[in-house]
Amino acid sequence: MKREFPLFVTAAVGLFMILSFFVPHQAVSVPADFLQQSAVIVVAFGYVLGGANVLRVNFDGIYRRRPDWPYKLVLAGSLLATLAIGAIEGRGFQSEGTRFMWIYDQVYSPMSATMFALLAFFIASAAFRAFRIRTLEAGLLALAAMLVMLGRVPIGNAWTQWLPEPVRLQGIQEWIMDIPQNAAKRAILIGAALGVMATGLRVILGIERSYLSGED
Amino acid sequence: MSLHLSHDFGVWVAALLTLFIFSFLYKDNPFYKFAEHLFVGVSAGYYIILNFWTVVVPNLWDPLLQVFSGRAGAPFAASLGDYRGWLLLPGLLGLLLFTRLFGRIGWLSRWSLALIIGVYAGLKTTGFAQGDFVAQLQGSLQPLWGRGLAADLSAVVFTVGLISSMLFFFFSREHKGALGAVSRVGIVFLMVSFGAGYGYTVMSRVSLLIGRFQYLIGDWLGIR
Amino acid sequence: MGALRSLEKLDRRWIFLVVGLLVLFPLLWPLDLPLYVSPPVQAYHDAIAELPDGCTVLVSCDYDPASRPELVPMTETTLRQLFDKRCKVVATVLWNGGAGLVDQVLRGVGEEKQRVYGVDYINLGYKAGNEAVMVLMGQGIASAFPRDNSGLPTRGFPIMREVRDYSSFPLLVSISAGYPGTKEYVQQVQGRFHIPMVAGVTAVSAPEFYPYLQTGQLRGMLGGMAGAAEYEKLRREKGTATQGMDAQSMAHVFIALCIVLGNVVQWTRRRRDAA
């Protein structure tokens, strides 16, 4: 029951989902649709579980007075406050003017955007300190990067406006994206597809069992 | 150019939190740590509430309530999109996920994971086969001549690049001789591809910074 | 040579400062560099322009606030083009961080174009489940999304009376920041249900979709803020994407310079050490 039953469920459900791709009859499509609905519901419970785990870990840190425990208090407090406000607000929690949407607009949204905006600074710093051209291949990478970077923005076209269109930076950039870049990306796509199909079949047939983590 | 500071308390909160996070660029500090932990807490709470009210309630609770309060007819007479009492199964599996938090009965969560893994393994296998394998191979079969010199040359370069890049990933034989030569050609195309990817990544990251500055200048400081 | 030596030990915070200033100044004092429209963007615009007036289009907005500068301008311009053709819009969200943002964007453009919620457009909101939701919609949009973003029953809205499944839409517009998004729609929906598709994606993921453009799985594509700006130009709008392109240009030139300068500094140091 601890390992065999889950392996059986994975195999049965996985094979049924593959079958549903080929068989449109409702004897297959209705159960397949039900399985997908079930997966949607279980995944949603998974997000709730994730949040509960964050609380558990941080409460533990606060109780044991781990380093930075005051910040963990901020984390736990803001999590519980958001939960409480969202629970009180009910189904219309995303309607305009609710306190929950205020938290989303003025706290979650700007911080989410700013966290990723920091990357612009680090990518510039890494370009200076870590981008080392020591081989021909690295040189090709750098050349392609610079041609694409300059060709994709207006300044590239402004600098090379005097040239015929196909050899302007924009034209060169488009050719790089359409031909050599496309060829390599397609090769990677096809290779990755083969890998995913193989791994999918391994999981369904029970050869790959890493998702059953733990002992037993 | 003139300054029109925002009078909205929320905008000031958002702007200050933005500056707290930017302060990390100078060095790690309590303002950044506060903002970081606040962000994680609010995000986790937001995800829980969102999934509860948009999935658990409308897709599970409401239909079950209708069934067991007698408003939906026979409890297990399912049809496409209307699964009535059968929804008890995913409901139970969803609750079993929480057994992961309790060591001794944590193995019960594997039943829930088995359903998720089975569904997604099946979907991904057919999806990749259709969209990334068959369709891509089909699209690669293009004429190599008869469309003009530039188009024909590009088609030849494309085909050479595709085959050589695919052969680079063939590791069942050592890359020596003819295979080695073709693999080295493949490396050239792969390097060009990675360079193009790097260029687009730079564009993406810079765009995010531009967005934040536009917010600070426009919405907060009101510079026009 | 002295300058190059001092660059060897350059504190990275100076680089941060220069990047910040180079992005800030063009936003305050625009350079108005001319934009050039690329073929994938033209194809995206044309795919929407060729739709019959008054049809219903599925727009899946799968992103969160982190991708706002790139994808919100695309979404707004797409909605304006659709509303100008009197098309109806059914919107879905598969990223949990994006539900609120997409609703604001949709309602903002809806009000601007004086369209009525529930009649001309609807936001079905967020649903967890990634690809499973996409395939579920193939059996019935309303059964996958029984309630809209505000918690109201979906089947009660006039716009949903003629919407069954993917066959009700002549076009699927996928605006996405990653997983789940455009790639999954191509794999699970475009091939299986034969619905024409166009996509707006972040710049970081744009290169991987060129193979789909070439095969016709995608009819057109907007890539990043540059793609959004070019689309705004086609539509004769001057939105935030267009305003950001001067700053983008300056930052790209600086980063290209950083790559060259960084290697020159390293090369001279190695020569000096070898001597």
Contacting partners of chain A (3+ CB pairs under 8 A): B, C
Residue B106 inside a domain? The answer is no
Pairing between strand C197-201 and C172-176? parallel
Tokens encoding B9: 């308390």
Q: Which helix (H) or strand (E) holds C61?
A: strand C56-62
Q: How far is C49 from chain B (nearest CA, A)?
A: 25
Model pLDDT for residues A172-209, shown as the tens digit of each residue: 999 999 999 999 999 999 999 999 999 999 999 999 88
pLDDT the model gives residue C69: 94
**Chain C CB contacts of B81 below 8 Å:** 139-140, 142-143
Residue of chain A whose alpha carbon sits nearest to that of C147 = A91
Model pLDDT for residues C118-166, shown as the tens digit of each residue: 999 999 999 988 889 999 999 899 989 999 998 899 999 999 999 999 9
Residues C67, C177 contacting (CB under 8 angstroms): yes
Q: What is the DSSP letter of B107?
A: G
**For residue B188, what are the domain limits?**
143-224
Task: State chain B's mean pLDDT as an integer.
Answer: 92
Q: Cβ contacts of residue A6 below 8 Å, gap of 6+?
A: A212, B110, B111, B113, B114
Which of the residues A153, A161, A163, A189 would you substitute to probe the C interface, choosing the one with the greatest number of C C-beta atoms within 10 Å? A153
Residue of chain C whose alpha carbon sits nearest to that of A165 = C36
**SS3 state at A153:** coil
pLDDT over 80 at B79, yes or no: no
Residues C93, A62 contacting (CB under 8 angstroms): no
The Cα C98–Cα C61 span in angstroms is 8
Model pLDDT for residues C190-204, shown as the tens digit of each residue: 988 989 999 999 999
Q: Which helix (H) or strand (E) holds C81?
A: helix C68-84
What is the pLDDT averaged over residues B11-23? Answer: 97
The Cα C249–Cα C232 span in angstroms is 17
The Cα C44–Cα C38 span in angstroms is 10
pLDDT over 80 at B80, yes or no: no
Q: Which of B11, C72, C107, B212 lies closest to A106 in space, CA to CA?
A: B11
**Chain B CB contacts of C187 below 8 Å:** 127-128, 130-132
Q: Cβ contacts of residue C85 below 8 Å, gap of 6+?
A: C48, C49, C51, C53, C54
pLDDT the model gives residue C242: 95
Which whole-number Å values give the CA distances from B117 to A45, B81, B172, in the listed order? 15, 22, 30
Contact C251 B62 (CB under 8 A): no
Would you list the domain boundaries of chain A?
A: 133-216
Residue type at A125? S
Residues B193, A143 contacting (CB under 8 angstroms): no
pLDDT over 70 at B20, yes or no: yes
Residue B209 inside a domain? The answer is yes
pLDDT over 60 at A215, yes or no: no
Chain C residues 88-147 within an 8 A CB cutoff of chain A: 96-97, 99-101, 103-104, 107, 125, 127-130, 132-133, 135-136, 139, 147
Q: How far is A197 from chain B (nearest CA, A)?
A: 5
Residue B85 inside a domain? The answer is no
Question: Which long-range contacts (C-beta less than 8 Å, at least 24 apart) are formed by C52-56?
Answer: C52/C170, C53/C85, C53/C86, C53/C87, C54/C85, C54/C86, C54/C87, C54/C88, C55/C87, C55/C88, C55/C169, C55/C170, C55/C171, C56/C87, C56/C88, C56/C89, C56/C90, C56/C159, C56/C162, C56/C163, C56/C168, C56/C169
The Cα A56–Cα A71 span in angstroms is 15
Confidence grade of residue B222 (pLDDT, cut at 50, 70, 90): very high
The Cα C224–Cα C177 span in angstroms is 10
ipTM > 0.85 (yes/no): yes
**Chain C CB contacts of A123 below 8 Å:** 255
**Chain A CB contacts of C258 below 8 Å:** 124, 127-128, 131
Residue type at C75? T
pLDDT the model gives residue B72: 67
Residue type at B168? F
Task: State chain C's mean pLDDT as an integer.
Answer: 94
Residues A129, C20 contacting (CB under 8 angstroms): no
Chain C residues 162-181 within an 8 A CB cutoff of chain A: none
Tokens encoding C240: 């935030």
**Chain A CB contacts of B107 below 8 Å:** 2, 214, 216
Q: How far is B177 from chain A (nearest CA, A)?
A: 20
Contact C259 A125 (CB under 8 A): no
Q: Between A45, A87, A121, which is nearest B97 by CB? A: A45
Which of the residues B1, B2, B207, B220 would you substitute to probe the C interface, choosing the one with the greatest number of C C-beta atoms within 10 Å? B207
Residue of chain A whose alpha carbon sits nearest to that of C256 = A146
How far does CA A151 lie from the centroid of its chain?
A: 28
Tokens encoding A45: 């419970």
Q: Which helix (H) or strand (E) holds A84?
A: helix A69-89
Q: Between A43, A158, A178, which is nearest C129 by CB? A: A43
10 Å CB burial of residue C34 (0-12, 13-18, 19+) is: exposed
Residue B96 inside a domain? The answer is no
Residue B217 inside a domain? The answer is yes
Model pLDDT for residues C66-94, shown as the tens digit of each residue: 999 999 999 999 999 999 999 999 999 99
**Chain C CB contacts of A157 below 8 Å:** 34, 36
What is the pLDDT averaged over residues C38-46? Answer: 97
pLDDT the model gives residue A189: 94
Instruction: Scan for tokens 């063009």, then name that residue.
Output: C26
10 Å CB burial of residue B145 (0-12, 13-18, 19+) is: exposed
Residue of chain A whose alpha carbon sits nearest to that of B23 = A118
Residue of chain C whose alpha carbon sits nearest to that of B82 = C143
The Cα C113–Cα C105 span in angstroms is 12
Q: How far is A51 from chain B (nearest CA, A)?
A: 5
Residue of chain A whose alpha carbon sits nearest to that of C98 = A109
Question: Residue C50, Cβ neighbours under 10 Å: how many?
Answer: 12
Model pLDDT for residues B101-154, shown as the tens digit of each residue: 888 888 899 999 999 999 999 999 999 999 899 999 999 998 998 989 999 999
Q: Between A124, A129, A153, which is nearest C248 by CB? A: A153
The Cα C250–Cα C247 span in angstroms is 5
Contact B203 C224 (CB under 8 A): yes
**Chain A CB contacts of B157 below 8 Å:** 179-180, 183
Q: Between C35, C104, C255, which is nearest A124 by CB? A: C255
**Chain A CB contacts of B56 below 8 Å:** 41, 44-45, 48
Residues C12, A129 contacting (CB under 8 angstroms): yes
Model pLDDT for residues C232-242, shown as the tens digit of each residue: 999 999 999 99
Q: Cβ contacts of residue A180 below 8 Å, gap of 6+?
A: B157, B158, B161, B189, B192, B193
Say if C153 is an interface residue toward chain A (CB within 8 Å). no
pLDDT over 90 at B91, yes or no: yes
Q: Cβ contacts of residue C110 below 8 Å, gap of 6+?
A: C79, C83, C116, C117, C120, C121
Contact B44 A79 (CB under 8 A): yes
Model pLDDT for residues A99-155, shown as the tens digit of each residue: 999 999 999 999 999 999 999 999 999 999 999 999 999 999 999 999 999 999 999
**SS3 state at C30:** coil
Bridge partners (DSSP) listed for residue B40: none
**Chain B CB contacts of A126 below 8 Å:** none
pLDDT the model gives residue A72: 95
Q: Cβ contacts of residue B27 below 8 Å, gap of 6+?
A: none
Number of domains comprising chain B:
1
pLDDT over 90 at A35, yes or no: yes
Residue B187 inside a domain? The answer is yes
pTM score, whole prediction: 0.91
